[in-house]
Each structure stands twice: as C-alpha cells, then as structure tokens.
Amino acid sequence: MSSSLRTVATLALALAATLGHADTLEKVKSSGSFTIGHRDASIPFSYYDDKQKPIGYSVDLCLRIVDAVQKNLGLAKLEVKYQLVTSANRIPLLANGTVDIECGSTTNNADRQKQVSYAPTTFVTANRIVYKKNSGIKKLADLKGKTLVSTAGTTNIKQVTELNAAQNLGINIVSANGHAEAFLMVETGRAAAFAMDDILLAGLVANAKTPGDYEISSEALSVEPYGIMIRKDDPKFKQVVDSAIGALMSSGAINGIYNTWFEKPIAPKGINLNIPISPSLKKVMAKPTDSPDPKAYE
C-alpha cells in the first residue's frame, strides 16, 4: 500500500471510530437524518414488503423512536434513511456509525452487551428447530448424523454448536447467510432442520409454499429476549430510546402495534400468524427491562 493510500485508510478508520463513539443525538442533529438498520427476512419484525420497503413490528417501534428523537432535538424535519444489515454485520455497522439504531430480531445477551446497548425488551422468544413432518425428527438429539443449518452470526448457531459438542450429538452444523437461505435448505433437503427463534420459524413456515409440511419442535433450547440495539456508552440517546419504548408500554399503545403484526393479516401474503402476547412479554410491558438474563423473563 502506498503512503497516500495508507493515509486515506488511516483517516477512514479514524472517522469510523469517531462516528462510532459520537453522541448519537448530536450526530443526528448535525446531519438532519436518522439511519435505521433493518433486516430483509425477519418476519414479522423487520423485512421487505413486495415493494422492497422495510416494514415490521420492530420497524414500527423504531419509527416511534425517531419521532421521540425529532421532538427531543426540536427539529421541524428529520429525514429517515434505511440500511440493510445482516446477522453478521449488524453490530459493526451500528458501532461504526453507519446506522443509528438496529431494528430487527436481535437477542439481548450478556456477551452482546459488552459491545452494544439495548432498548427495553420488546419480544420474548425461544430457540427451537423446524423440520419436515415426515422426517422422524422431534428434538435436537434426533439429528445425529444429519445436517442442521442456522444463520451465521446468531446466538442460535452458537448455542446448537455448543450443545452438539457438550452432548456429543454427532450433528453436522452448517451456516447460512440469512434466515430465508437457511429455510430454503430445509425445503430442498440440503438440511434436515433449521435452528432459529421460534417466532421467526413461524413466519417462515407461514409463508412457505406448503406450510403444512413443516413442524416446529416443542423442545425449547433457550429463552431469547429481543431488543432494539443502540450504540454503547451513549446515555443521552439511551434515555430518549428507553423513554419512547416505556411510554408505548405504559400507555398500552404497544398492544395495537403488536396486534397489527402478530394477530392480523400481514404482507406480503396476508397471512395471520395468530400469536397472542405471551405471559413473558406482558411481564416486560408492565415493568420494562433491558436485562440480558433469561431468568428475568420466566
């Protein structure tokens, strides 16, 4: 690398570091824009509709946060931008300032809290597996000698890899670049099962060509609290975010948003997931928390 290129690279890294540790409210105020990191296939949290527009439960919640930010800064106008992120790059793109918030289906755990912060939990799910009904599979141990797929960069693939080793299950575990790709591997027989959060599996099954061919395990491998990610060590911004989510919960407005995405027909196929608010989520709504401890959701 030439000295001039090295200088440019150094400046770029320095700028990224500066953005990553900037005060988010000041960054937004100076730019006049707010960038939402979103997913492409995390139904019904964050995904594309048939016009390639980001929609979903998490996206709606993040738009409420944008409103709160605009009000806090006293801005007459605030431009909302969208940036597609993946399981693998969502944390780096948040940390380096490419996105100001991540609105997807991201588990809040202790390891991630070393790198990022979270809004109060807005959904509680569990890690399960999906498979074809005629496969003879019912639980993780039934996959001995078979291929299990999960999405790269998720807590799910980390957990099943650890369980596979600890229990000597003899499962061939492979990664996929996204949830849609992983489910397609089960559809086409390249994998016997897909390990992921049950709510995401339910969305994929509901939108499959033949939903009746699939079953989601009753065996739960973990508890997964979802939260909207924000940059770490930015208390002023976190206060605005926490207050916005807290207000939705205390007013009951979040119930209507939830109902729209989990108990009514949704794009692109008009399928109703028919998933009522769980006791765990009701507990969180009554007393908001950003705890990464699964026991907080029991």
Reply yes or no on whether the pLDDT at 11 is more than 90: no
Tokens of 105: 């289906």
Q: How does pLDDT run across 83-113, given as a tens digit for each residue?
A: 999 999 999 999 999 999 999 999 999 999 9
Alpha helices in the chain (DSSP H): 3-20, 24-31, 57-73, 90-95, 155-166, 179-187, 198-206, 235-251, 253-262, 279-286
pLDDT score for 22 = 63
CATH of domain 3-122+227-297: 3.40.190.10
Residues 164, 171: contact at Cβ < 8 Å? yes
Tokens of 26: 């000041």
- For residues 274-292, give the mean pLDDT: 95
> If you search the block for the tokens 């009522």, which residue do you land on?
276
pTM: predicted TM-score of the whole model, two decimal places: 0.85
Reply yes or no on whether the pLDDT at 251 is more than 60: yes
Residues 34, 24: contact at Cβ < 8 Å? no
Q: List the one residue out of 70, 64, 94, 105 whose CA is nearest residue 199.
A: 105
Q: How does pLDDT run across 147-175, given as a tens digit for each residue?
A: 999 999 999 999 999 999 999 999 999 99
- For residues 171-193, give the mean pLDDT: 97
Q: List the one residue out of 56, 123, 46 whose CA is nearest residue 86.
A: 46
Confidence of residue 271 (pLDDT cuts 50, 70, 90): very high
Confidence of residue 80 (pLDDT cuts 50, 70, 90): very high
> For the chain, what percent of residues have pLDDT higher than 90?
92
Reply yes or no on whether the pLDDT at 81 is more than 60: yes
- The rounded mean pLDDT for the chain is 93
Reply yes or no on whether the pLDDT at 7 is more than 50: no
pLDDT score for 298 = 86
- For residues 42-59, give the mean pLDDT: 97
Q: How does pLDDT run across 16-40, given as a tens digit for each residue?
A: 444 444 699 999 999 999 999 999 9
Q: List the one residue out of 271, 125, 289, 122 whose CA is nearest residue 211.
A: 271
Over its C-alpha atoms, the chain yields an Rg (Å, rounded) of 20
Q: How does pLDDT run across 189-233, given as a tens digit for each residue?
A: 999 999 999 999 999 999 999 999 999 999 999 999 999 999 999
The string over 280-291, giving b where at least 16 C-beta atoms fall within 10 Å of a residue's C-beta and e elsewhere, is: bbeebbeebbbb
Q: Is the dihedral of CA 25, 26, 28, 32 positive or negative?
A: positive
Number of Cβ within 10 Å of residue 276's Cβ equals: 12
The string over 119-139, giving b where at least 16 C-beta atoms fall within 10 Å of a residue's C-beta and e elsewhere, is: bbbbbbbbbbbbbbeebebee
- Residue 131, classed as helix, strand or coil, is strand
The segment(s) of the chain belonging to CATH 3.40.190.10 are 3-122+227-297, 126-222
pLDDT score for 284 = 96
pLDDT score for 199 = 95
Q: Does domain 126-222 have CATH number 3.40.190.10?
A: yes
- For residues 245-266, give the mean pLDDT: 98
Q: List the one residue out of 170, 131, 124 whose CA is nearest residue 150.
A: 131
Beta strand pairing status for 147-151 and 172-176?
parallel
Task: Give the Å distances, CA to CA, from 32 to 169, 235, 253, 283, 298.
Answer: 53, 20, 27, 37, 41
